[in-house]
Structure formats: C-alpha cells, structure tokens
Amino acid sequence: MSGTAEARATVTIYDGSTVLGTAVADEDGHWRFTPDPLGEGSTASAPR
C-alpha cells in the first residue's frame, strides 16, 4: 500500500477496526506500507 499525506505525518493502516500497522510520510508526503500476509477471505484495509 502507498499514498500521500502531510509531510512526516503518521498514517495508521486498518483492516476494519484492527490496526495492521503504521507508516510515516517522508518529507514529500509519500508513504508506503507492506502488511504481513493476510489470511484467506475478504479484507477492507484503509489508511487513516
């Protein structure tokens, strides 16, 4: 997963209400997150 945010902002990645982890945006606002392998079934991951 990747995206943009305010520079140096912490982005929290959720699967529903479960926190998968965080990423910190660089000085240009770009962030990237690689989750651990997810189990079978559907997921609804979203950055906040």
Contact 11, 32 (CB under 8 A): no
pLDDT at 16: 83
Distance CA(43)–CA(37), nearest Å, equals: 12
Condensed to tens digits (0 to 9), the pLDDT of residues 1-48 reads 899 999 999 999 988 888 989 999 999 999 999 988 767 775 656 666
Distance CA(23)–CA(9), nearest Å, equals: 8
